[in-house]
Amino acid sequence: MKEFKLKIVLSVLGGVIFSFIFILLALVLPTQKEKVVIKKAKNKLEAVSHTFKGR
Over residues 1-55, the pLDDT tens digits come to 889 999 999 999 999 999 999 999 888 877 777 776 676 767 888 878 877 776 5
Domain residues for 26? 2-53
CA gap 1, 16 in Å, rounded: 23
Tell me if 29 sits within 8 A of 35, measured CB to CB: no
* Number of independent structural domains in the chain: 1
Kindly write down the DSSP assignment for every residue of 7-30, as one continuous string. HHHHHHHHHHHHHHHHHHHHHHS-
CA gap 8, 1 in Å, rounded: 11
pTM of the complete model beyond 0.75: no
